[in-house]
Amino acid sequence: MRRIIAALTLAALCAAPSVVRAQCTAPNPPVSVVPMSAVVAQGGYLSSDGKGAYVDGTQGSIVDLNGGGNGGANLRTSVDVPLNPKSRFLSFNLNSPFNDPNPVVPDAVFALPLGVVQDLQGELHVLYRVDPPGPTGQHQEHSIQEVPDDGVFYTSERTNLFVTIGGVRHLLMFGGEAWPFNLCRPDEGAIFSAAGTTKLQIARLPDSDTYLLQAPAGSIARLFDYSNTFAPIDKGLYRFSFLVTFSPKPVKGKK
Distance CA 46, CA 162 (A): 12
Question: Can you give the pTM of this predicted structure?
Answer: 0.89
DSSP state of 43: T
1 alpha-carbon distance from chain centroid:
25
Q: In angstroms, rounded to a whole number, what is the distance separating the alpha carbons of residues 96 and 94?
A: 6
Pairing label, strands 54-55, 139-142: unpaired
User: Distance between CA atoms of 103 and 119, rounded to whole angstroms?
Assistant: 32
Which pLDDT does position 255 carry in this prediction?
A: 54
In order, the DSSP letters of 69-107 are SSS-EEEE-S-SS---TTS--EEEE---B---SS-SS--
pLDDT by 10s per residue, the chain, length 255: 444 333 333 333 333 333 334 789 988 877 899 999 999 999 999 999 999 999 999 999 999 999 988 899 999 999 999 999 999 999 999 999 999 888 888 898 999 999 999 999 999 999 999 999 988 889 999 999 999 999 999 999 999 999 999 999 999 999 999 999 999 999 999 999 999 999 999 999 999 999 999 999 999 999 999 999 999 999 999 999 999 999 999 887 655
Phi and psi at 34, nearest 5°, equal -115, 115
